[in-house]
């Protein structure tokens, strides 16, 4: 149906805007959480995000196989919000798999889903060159997966200070 990409920096309002875009597309909504609560700080972030969602969202927690999940549930919802693509990239790097190779599958599943799929992602390329190889690999993989998603998306939003700028 429709792939929509919402990107920006940390705490820029990406998730809030993505939630609003999902609500505009219907009342039967899914939320795919890719975060893993590996420490107390991440547990707090996940709790904050849960509090921002109303109960109209059916939540799925899937840190790795988002493409398969989208293929399975894509026809059951008006909109599916995936938050977030950069955590998905990180999860795959830490699991030893190749997020760039798998990113094409995720983007294809999102673009081909009967439901509108809204991908939330972080812009990771505007900062300094990371000091270590894993951080550079993450930055590059996230940038390449973001580009693949933006290419297939019918709408792309860049969030700045809570303000959505439509760039496509």
In the residue annotation, 17 being an active-site residue is answered as no
| C-alpha pair distances (Å), 58 with each of 31, 33, 51, 77 | 6, 11, 14, 9
Cβ distance 69 to 62 under 8 Å?
A: yes
Determine the distance from the C-alpha atom of residue 69 to the mean position of all C-alpha atoms in its chain, rounded to a whole number: 14
Strands (E), the chain: 2-8, 29-33, 57-61, 79-83, 116-122, 155-160, 163-166
Check 49, 88, 153, 156 and give the catalytic one: 49
How close are the terminal C-alpha atoms of the chain, in Å?
16
Active-site residue list: 49
């Amino acid at each position: 149906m429709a792939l929509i990409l919402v990107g920006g920096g940390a705490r820029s309002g990406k998730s809030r805007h993505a939630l609003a875009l999902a609500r505009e597309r219907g009342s039967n909504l899914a939320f795919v959480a890719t975060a893993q609560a590996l420490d107390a700080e991440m547990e707090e972030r996940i709790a904050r995000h849960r509090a921002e969602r109303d109960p109209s969202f059916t939540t799925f927690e899937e840190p790795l196989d988002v493409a398969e999940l989208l293929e399975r549930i894509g026809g059951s919802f008006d909109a599916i919000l995936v938050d977030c693509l950069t955590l998905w990239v990180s999860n795959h790097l830490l699991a030893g798999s190749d997020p760039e190779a798998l990113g094409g599958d995720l983007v294809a599943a999102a673009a081909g889903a009967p439901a509108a799929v809204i991908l939330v992602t972080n812009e990771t390329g505007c900062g300094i060159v990371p000091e270590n190889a894993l951080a550079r690999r993450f930055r590059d993989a996230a940038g390449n997966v973001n580009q693949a998603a933006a290419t297939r998306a019918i709408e792309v939003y860049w969030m700045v200070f809570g303000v959505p700028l439509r760039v496509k």
